[in-house]
């Protein structure tokens, strides 16, 4: 096995303002899971850096829930597909697939014997279904609502009861199996976002956008009380989660706080203020063993501290949008990975532990297209907000740092020694020295796409959409066209000089990597075939013998310079998402990232 996965740094949950986010808990208490895009992410609750990603859905996944047995997960997507898959094996084999209705699945509930599943959402003619997990045959009807059903739960003790909450401001109560509609509960004045039975089955709670939480008897459905009297929260409540002993309830609200309630005494035990900005609204929560988790609108996962409600124990950060580029840098003996996403966030990761955080201050406001580190230890990033930023990697704070405003949108940036930076913009090539614009080549006669600077610092290679690479030299504060044109096999998508400056690798949209020998007047050294689709990125290993390429075919190849046949092929490096960027931490460790918003480390052996 020439390669193996070393670490997976997972993405954050994908959240949407005003929509509750469901986090699923593992009955054994070790993991929790949530969704982002087409992925289901399983993370260890004690050490969230340990993660696994399931990517077999063809559409955006909304919700995933463990079966009470802990052996299977059911996940549902926006097209109405429900997939039931194995959690015990690496491969996550598909057990069953159903289409209960046509439309978005919003919530899933299992019975305690892991044999029946209830699924609700926004179908065309029906909003829910309940069926046997192994045959798909119906075990009742979910009726009584005339709008989207947001939430469903099943009592985990016999006799079974089922409750739903809907956008028609009502909850509904069912008995079964087969599950039959008993009555509607119309206590709420706004959408019902969440219904949950207590683990012992004695009660169930409903939470709504009107800021109220009602508690009912689990067996009869009779109303017991309203938590906090007329209002439980000042904003809408998006999620509730019972404590394992069924005595307390955790609630998450749009008023930017979470609360723990003592249900028997009908009192607030503690309030967790999460901040003051819109991004601090709480959209999801989970109480598992001793861990209390909540999800903010920023996508961050907060571990709440019962002893000190004003500050979370820890906050898990990362990317919730697709990552466009990444680069690596050693800082104080540690290797860090820097990743930039399409909403303008730049994150740094400790490559060993997965500890990560975002840069502080106000940074890019649009997609980060390309990043690199210059010789003075600054991260140079270019973004669709028409700026190039220089950010110190020791401070990791945007404020008071260099920003260069460009006339046209930049696509790619490269740095060389002596304070030089070359930026490729739409229809323009710009040379910067010491963070100032000193030269721009307007209308070069082709559309430049990517750029690389030779380690010697005097030569620049610019790849264009016309399928050619042109060589320029830096003379003082100007760029001079050397009149040298290297032909690739299609529109150029990335160029890179090897670290010793001996070779230039060029990849293109025609699925080919071509390597040119720099010393031999850029003669063609070798051609590398293997990708099935457009190649997006490439990076040289520090040993200058190998380089890696990643493409839209979801594959990563590690090539050997001297022999195109000797190659390591990483199939489905990021399944169903094309590889957007890669970099080497050392000669045997490759980092890849993709539009699934996760970062992976691979160990490569030759």
Alpha-carbon distance of 410 to 160, in angstroms, equals 60
Residue 400 makes CB contacts below 8 A (sequence gap 6+) with none
Out of 291, 316, 341, a domain closes at 316
Residue 312 CA: distances (Å) to CA of 159, 300, 309: 39, 11, 7
Between CA 472 and CA 158 the distance in angstroms is 77
How many helices (DSSP H) and strands (DSSP E) are in the chain? 0, 55
- What is the domain range of residue 58? 11-316
Residue 462: what pLDDT? 96
- Tokens 């993660």 locate to 51
Structural domain contains residue 207:
yes
Cβ–Cβ contacts within 10 Å for residue 88, how many?
A: 10
Instruction: Answer with the one of 269, 299, 316 that is the final residue of a domain.
Output: 316
Cα–Cα distances in angstroms (integers) from residue 193 to residues 27, 244, 270, 578, in the given order? 23, 21, 22, 35
Token pair for 212: 């109220």
- Give the count of domains, the chain: 2
Residue 17 lies in a domain: yes
Residue 485 pLDDT: 94
The domain that contains 270 carries what CATH number? Answer: 2.130.10.10
Tokens representing 140 are 């009742």
Closest CA to 325 of 591, 587, 547: 591
* pLDDT at 277 (0 to 100): 93
Assign 279 to helix, strand or coil.
helix
CB 604 within 8 A of CB 1: no
Q: Are strands 410-416 and 459-464 parallel, antiparallel or unpaired?
A: unpaired
Alpha carbons within 13 angstroms on the beta-carbon side of residue 98 total: 25
- Sheet bearing 248-253, strands edge to edge: 237-242, 248-253, 257-262, 267-273
**Of the candidates 542, 558, 555, which has an alpha carbon nearest to the alpha carbon of residue 498?**
542
Burial code of 21-40, b = ≥16 C-beta within 10 A, e = fewer? bbbbbbbeebbbbbbbbbbb
DSSP secondary structure of 544-603 = SSEEEEEETTS-EEEEETTEEEEEEEETTTTTTS-EEEEEEEETTEEEEEETTS-EEEEE
Q: What is the pLDDT of residue 330?
A: 87
Beta carbons within 8 Å of 159's beta carbon, 6+ residues apart: 175, 219
Residue-wise pLDDT for 521-551, tens only, equals: 999 999 999 999 999 999 999 999 999 999 9
Residue 331 confidence (pLDDT) = 81
pLDDT along the chain (606 residues), means of 10: 86 93 93 94 92 92 96 96 93 93 96 96 92 94 94 94 96 93 95 96 95 95 92 95 96 96 94 94 95 95 94 92 92 89 91 88 92 92 94 86 91 94 94 92 92 94 95 92 92 96 95 94 93 94 94 93 91 88 94 92 92
CA separation for the pair 382, 89 (Å, rounded): 41
Eight-state DSSP code of residue 278? G
Which residues fall within 8 angstroms of residue 57, CB to CB, at 6 or more apart? 38, 39, 40, 75, 77, 81, 83
Q: Hey, what are 164's tokens?
A: 């739903």
Residue 233 lies in a domain: yes
pLDDT tens, residue by residue, 103-122: 999 999 999 999 999 999 99
Read off φ and ψ for residue 340, nearest 5 degrees: -120, 135
Task: Report if residue 488 sits inside a domain.
Answer: no
Locate 549 and state its tokens: 């390429």
453 in a domain, yes or no? Answer: no
pLDDT of residue 22: 95
Q: Note whether residue 451 is domain-resident.
A: no
Please state, in angstroms and rounded to a whole number, the distance separating the CA atoms of residues 560 and 525: 12
| pLDDT tens per residue, range 36-82 | 999 999 999 999 888 999 999 999 999 999 999 999 999 999 999 99
Indicate the pTM of the whole model.
0.89
Determine, yes or no, domain membership for 203. yes
Half-sphere exposure of 127 (CA within 13 A, CB side): 19
Residue at a domain's end among 281, 298, 316: 316
Burial 147-186 (b: 16+ CB within 10 A, else e): ebbbbbbbbbeeebbbbbbbbbbbbbbbbbbebebbeebe
Residue 78 phi, psi dihedral angles, 5° rounding = -75, -15
Q: Does the residue 452 lie in any domain? A: no
Query: What separation in angstroms does the CA of 263 have from each of 12, 137, 249, 259?
Result: 31, 37, 7, 12
pLDDT value, residue 580: 94
The C-alpha atoms of residue 534 and residue 246 are separated, in whole angstroms, by 54
């Amino acid at each position: 096995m020439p390669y193996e996965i070393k670490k997976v740094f997972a993405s954050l949950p994908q959240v949407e303002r005003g929509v509750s986010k469901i986090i699923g808990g593992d009955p054994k208490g070790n993991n929790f899971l949530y969704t982002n895009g087409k992925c289901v992410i399983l993370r260890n609750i004690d050490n969230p850096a340990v993660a696994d990603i399931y990517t077999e859905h063809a559409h955006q996944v909304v919700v995933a829930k463990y079966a009470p047995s802990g052996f299977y997960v059911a996940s549902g997507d926006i097209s109405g597909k429900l997939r039931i898959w194995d959690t015990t094996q690496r491969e996550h084999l598909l057990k069953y697939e159903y289409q209960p209705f046509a439309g978005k699945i919003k919530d899933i509930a299992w019975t305690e014997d892991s044999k029946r599943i209830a699924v609700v959402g926004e179908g065309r003619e029906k909003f829910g279904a309940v069926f046997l997990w192994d045959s798909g045959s119906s075990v009742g009807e979910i009726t009584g609502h005339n709008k989207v059903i947001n939430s469903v739960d099943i009592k985990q003790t016999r006799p079974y009861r089922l409750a739903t909450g809907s956008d028609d401001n009502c909850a509904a109560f069912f008995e079964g199996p087969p599950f039959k509609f008993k009555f509607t509960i119309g206590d709420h004045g706004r959408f019902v976002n969440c219904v949950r039975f207590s683990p012992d089955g004695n009660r169930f709670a409903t939470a709504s956008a009107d800021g109220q939480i009602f508690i009912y008897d689990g067996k009869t459905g009779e109303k017991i009380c309203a938590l906090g009297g007329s209002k439980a929260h000042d904003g809408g409540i998006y999620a509730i989660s019972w404590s394992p002993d069924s005595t307390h309830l955790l609630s998450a609200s749009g008023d930017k706080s979470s609360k723990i309630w003592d249900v028997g005494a009908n009192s607030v035990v503690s309030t967790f203020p999460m901040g003051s900005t819109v991004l601090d609204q709480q959209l999801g929560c989970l109480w598992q063993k001793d861990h209390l988790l909540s999800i903010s609108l920023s996508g961050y996962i907060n571990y709440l501290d019962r002893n000190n409600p004003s500050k979370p124990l820890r906050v898990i950060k990362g990317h919730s949008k697709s990552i466009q580029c990444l680069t690596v840098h050693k800082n104080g003996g540690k290797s860090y990975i820097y990743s930039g996403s399409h909403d303008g966030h730049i994150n740094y990761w400790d490559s060993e532990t997965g500890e990560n955080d975002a840069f502080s201050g106000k940074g890019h406001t649009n997609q980060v297209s390309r990043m690199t580190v210059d010789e003075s230890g600054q991260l140079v990033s270019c973004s669709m907000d028409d700026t190039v930023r220089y950010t110190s990697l020791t401070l990791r704070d945007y404020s008071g740092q260099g920003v260069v405003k460009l006339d046209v949108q930049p696509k790619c940036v490269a740095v060389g020694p002596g304070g030089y930076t070359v930026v490729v913009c739409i229809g323009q090539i710009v040379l910067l020295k010491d963070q100032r614009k000193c030269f721009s080549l307007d209308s070069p006669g082709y559309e430049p796409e990517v750029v690389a600077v030779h380690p010697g610092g005097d030569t620049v290679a610019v790849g264009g959409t016309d399928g050619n690479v042109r060589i320029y030299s830096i003379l003082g504060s100007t760029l001079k066209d050397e009149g040298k044109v290297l032909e690739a096999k299609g529109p150029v998508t990335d160029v890179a000089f090897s670290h010793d400056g001996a070779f230039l690798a060029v990849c293109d949209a025609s699925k080919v990597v071509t390597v040119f020998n720099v010393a031999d007047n850029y003669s063609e050294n070798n051609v590398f075939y293997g990708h099935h689709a457009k190649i997006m990125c490439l990076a040289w290993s520090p040993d200058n013998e190998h380089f890696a390429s990643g493409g839209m075919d979801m594959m990563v190849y590690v090539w050997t310079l001297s022999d195109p046949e000797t190659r390591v092929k990483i199939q489905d490096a990021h399944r169903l998402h094309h590889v957007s960027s890669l970099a080497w931490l050392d000669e045997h460790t490759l980092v890849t990232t993709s539009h699934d918003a996760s970062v992976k480390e691979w160990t490569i052996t030759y």
